[in-house]
Amino acid sequence: MSKQLTKVEEQLMQVLWELNEASVQEIINKLPNPKPAYNTVSTIIRILETKNFVSHKPKGRGYIYFPLIQKNDYSNQSLHKLVDSYFGGSFKNMVSFFVD
């Protein structure tokens, strides 16, 4: 998993991580106002599927979506990317930055 999420993608993933699985409408219901359009959320979920962050299973006439990546795994990967990008791969440098 080396792909980063956009802010909007990450917001939807946060909802899926919280709910474990959800329909598009259930995801929308958990989002803050103003609520995005159904088609917008559906499109972003499909993008997350192409990035292998989400999968789906049929339920009734629709689908239920669920995360393929655990929140802790994504958080760890994001932290390592931050440390590599801004602190030369050194956690010590990062800690020093925040302590100083």
Please tell me the number of Cα atoms within 13 Å of 13 on its side-chain side: 24
Question: Residue 56 in contact with residue 68, Cβ under 8 Å?
Answer: no
Give the model's pLDDT for residue 20: 98
Q: Which of 30, 15, 3, 31 is nearest to 65 (CA)?
A: 15
Segment 25-50, tens digit of pLDDT = 999 999 999 999 999 999 999 999 99
Enumerate domains of the chain plus CATH numbers: 1-68 (1.10.10.10), 70-100 (no CATH)
User: How do residues 87-96 score in pLDDT, each as one tens digit?
Assistant: 777 778 777 7
Q: What does pTM read for this prediction?
A: 0.80
Q: What is the pLDDT of residue 2?
A: 55
